[in-house]
Amino acid sequence: MSISGSSWLKFGLFTVGLGQSFVFVLVPPLARDLGLSVIQTSSIFAISAFAWALTSAFWGRTSDKYGRRNIAILGLLGYAISLIALITPLFLVERNILHVAYLFPALVLGRLINGLVGSATRPASFAYVADTSTKEKRTLKFARLESSFLLGTVAGPLLGGFLFLITNETPFYVFSFFALVAAFGIYRELDNTNIKKENNNERTKINWYSKTILPFLIYAAILSLCQASLLQSIGFYITDLFNTFENLPTLISMTFALLSISTIVSQYIFTDAFPMKNFNLLLFGTVLLIFSYSTMAFFQSISVYYLSIIILGFGFGMTRPALASSLSLAQTPENQGSAAGYLGSVIPIGHMTTPFIAMPIYAINPAYLYYFSSILCIGLVLFIIFHPTIRKSGLI
């Protein structure tokens, strides 16, 4: 029995999730052990995120012209190469083959490949789903696509941790191989959907500042900052507040796992089992984020912390597919690739700005960062309620 093209697309995002989560877990401590500072290590990911922001919209528009399949494959190939290019310098420095002075630029280059080329897969994938789904099923289809990526983020540290017992490099080679398998499957089974040229004229083209685009980008950018500040501070937060516990890396890994699993469960409940309208998903999901960040800041205990993480996952599980679906529904068919690309371009903003906005706040007091995130989410609730474009597009 052959596997459908859409299933291969989900597997492709699953493989991206595998490496994405494992890279954040393994690379920072390895790089620090080899002499890189925390700022240098953070900069590696910030530079990649900046490249992702610059190129995502381009890949979305390019998928309109050359087809979703081709651009999704290109992104997976770039992602596979970036994994090898990221682990190889660490491997060489550990064995004294490469001088440690070259480690930082080599890691920047390896991760940069993911930002420049690996960024193509996500907008092409979501544009394909927009091309092939009805308006009524759009949120559900986006949620399932997002869940594939999140399953990868859960499995990444687990499978990667097992493969890590073989050698430090094995997880990266295996995850890279999975991406190549996904690319081949997509090439064989996925229809290369794209937009008819006669529909692609100046009258229908959009820009990031178009009234059907900008409100969603504003929401996505603020949500990205809240999420990235949490992800980049988790390791510090647990180490600083719960240092009396044994095996802190396990506590950190559990946090990532709980966040991803609760997000997946939330997406299933509110987009599949008991579907809600996009407006309600955005509104109630953001309210959950407010509650979670506030609780995390005020009650600094490990049990409340994990409960807050679970609630946070439920909030993200409601808001992320609803945001992508609302943006898609606000566009004409010929602009789906461009819209998905613009959304992809603001997703990395949080990782780019966290070192300059969130981490200085954290340095003053860890609780202040989560209070800050809750205040931002309060602003998002007001934005959702009063902005006409979001209200109109979110009614489905």
Domain limits, CATH 1.20.1250.20, in the chain: 1-192, 206-396
Residues 314 and 310: their CA atoms lie apart, in Å, by 6
Query: What percent of the chain has pLDDT above 70?
Result: 95
Quick one: tokens of 23? 């890279």
N- to C-terminal Cα separation, the chain:
35
39, pLDDT greater than 80 = no
Encode pLDDT of 189-240 as tens digits.
887 776 554 444 444 677 878 888 899 999 999 999 998 888 878 877 887 8
Residue 198's pLDDT is 44
Residues 160 and 219: their CA atoms lie apart, in Å, by 33
Quick one: tokens of 136? 């009524």
**Tokens 């009524």 sit at which residue?**
136
Task: For residues 155-169, give the mean pLDDT.
Answer: 81
Report residue 368's pLDDT band, with 50, 70 and 90 as the boundaries: very high
Report residue 143's pLDDT band, with 50, 70 and 90 as the boundaries: confident
Helices 170-189 and 138-164: crossing angle in degrees, nearest 10, is: 150
CA-angle at 381, arms to 372 and 330, nearest 5°: 125
Quick one: tokens of 233? 């501070």
Pick the range with the lowest mean pLDDT from 77-81, 114-118, 193-197.
Answer: 193-197
Query: What percent of the chain has pLDDT above 90?
Result: 29
Q: Is the C-alpha dihedral spanning 64, 66, 67, 71 positive or negative?
A: negative
Quick one: tokens of 72? 């999704």
Which residues make Cβ contacts (< 8 Å) with residue 187, sequence separation at least 6? Answer: 69, 73
Residue 354's pLDDT is 81
Task: For residues 53-64, give the mean pLDDT.
Answer: 89
Residue 373's pLDDT is 95
Alpha helices in 67-137 (DSSP H): 68-94, 103-116, 121-132
Average pLDDT, the chain: 85
Residue 309's pLDDT is 93
Quick one: tokens of 306? 């994990």
286, pLDDT greater than 50 = yes
Q: Return the number of other C-beta atoms located less than 10 Å from residue 364's C-beta.
A: 9
42, pLDDT greater than 80 = no
Contact yes or no for 180/169 (Cβ under 8 A): no
Contact yes or no for 253/25 (Cβ under 8 A): yes
Q: Return the number of other C-beta atoms located less than 10 Å from residue 61's C-beta.
A: 22
395, pLDDT greater than 60 = no
By C-alpha distance, which of 198, 195, 190 is closest to 333?
195
Who has greater pLDDT, 257 or 116?
Answer: 116
Who has greater pLDDT, 24 or 372?
Answer: 372
Residue 394's pLDDT is 60
Superfamily for domain range 1-192: MFS general substrate transporter like domains (1.20.1250.20)
For the domain bounded by 206-396, which CATH number is listed?
1.20.1250.20
Encode pLDDT of 8-30 as tens digits.
889 999 999 888 877 877 777 77
By C-alpha distance, which of 263, 216, 268, 13 is closest to 125?
13
Pick the range with the lowest mean pLDDT from 62-71, 216-225, 253-262.
Answer: 253-262
Contact yes or no for 295/312 (Cβ under 8 A): no
Task: For residues 170-179, give the mean pLDDT.
Answer: 93
